[in-house]
A = this chain, B = another copy of it.
Amino acid sequence: MAILPLSDARPLDAGERLHEAHAPGSAWRVVSGAVRLDTLDEEDGEPVFAGLAVPGDIVGAETLLLGQCHFRATALTPTVLTPWPGTVGSPSASLLGALARTEQRAAKVVALRAGQAIERVKRLIQLLVPENGGESLAHIVLPPLRDMADITALTIETVSRSLSGLRRQGVLESTGQRRGRGQKSCRCLMPSATPMA
């Protein structure tokens, strides 16, 4: 897992748009943070949650084929990207790896939409916790409730109640709990869902 020099790194603020749907763009690999993908509803043009990219995942691979993005990509938390594909390794292996990764990520996202509300939210957070060598005391920045609701197919209210429940269970600790604008950071006492084996 060679980390490329970060000279080309592109940082993104939480909520910042990487590219619009059906617009030109290029392909990136997520270095840190998380990105949500949306399709635009054919009828009303409303964005519909379509996928998630966490560190190691590729965003906008289809631009290499068509020169156009299928999805709208938005940073969920402060995020860092790097151009893709990198210059190392054979193109085929890199592509196959991206394909396999995409399938696995999609499976996790699908799983985020089944089961009880509190479990879904818990799994989502685990997906967002960076792996830090088995250490379970991770400090993470949570996405806005609106995004967590879209991802889990719950309502904002239910997500909020679930987070309260997780805090009550002790698997989540708020640090600098902020309503209003600003990031909601917290201390997470759950293991990472190990985004990539």
Contact = CB atoms under 8 A, between A and B. Distances in A.
Size range of the chain A interface in the assembly: 20 to 34
Q: Is the interface of A mostly helix, strand, loop or mixed?
A: helix
A20 interface: no
Contact of A48 (B50, B98, B109, B111): B111
- How many copies of this chain does the complex contain? 2
Interface stretch (A59-67, A124-132, A167-175, A178-186): A59-67
A102 B104 contact: no
A62 B96 contact: yes
Contacts of A104: 70
Interface of A: 37, 39, 48-51, 58, 61-62, 64-66, 70-71, 91-93, 95-100, 102-104, 106-107, 109-111, 113-114, 153
